[in-house]
Amino acid sequence: LSDPTTYAEITAYWGVGLCKKEDAPAFINSKATALNGKYPVNPSGGMESRGEPFGATGMLQIAEVIWQMRGLCGKRQVAGPPKVGFTQIAGGWQDMKSEDAACATAIFKS
């Protein structure tokens, strides 16, 4: 999920339907997004750990999902390996209300 900031990742949880906005604190505390959780999110550490290379961020997410599905991720490997992967990237500003101007998702199945 798009995570240039911690808050952006959290808002992405309800934006893609992993939880309702009001349930976000409980969802986070459930560790559902941990490496071995029900919905592992950003096992590479996401943009917060690798930076945000504009233009390449979405491709890095896609590469990570493909590597995960192929079982090539070593210590950050999701158990399985997974048969389905999902990416979401958002950015730009429509107005000063911090709404994303663009969003793209991709779903992969092996």
Sequence-distant (≥ 6) Cβ neighbours of residue 27 within 8 angstroms: 13, 18, 19, 33
In whole angstroms, give the CA distance from residue 49 to residue 3. Answer: 10
Mean pLDDT, all residues of the chain: 88
Residue in 23, 61, 5 with CA at minimum distance from that of residue 13:
23
pLDDT tens digits, one per residue of 77-92 = 999 899 999 999 887 7
Domain ranges in the chain are: 6-109
pLDDT at position 93: 66
pLDDT tens digits, one per residue of 37-46 = 999 999 998 8
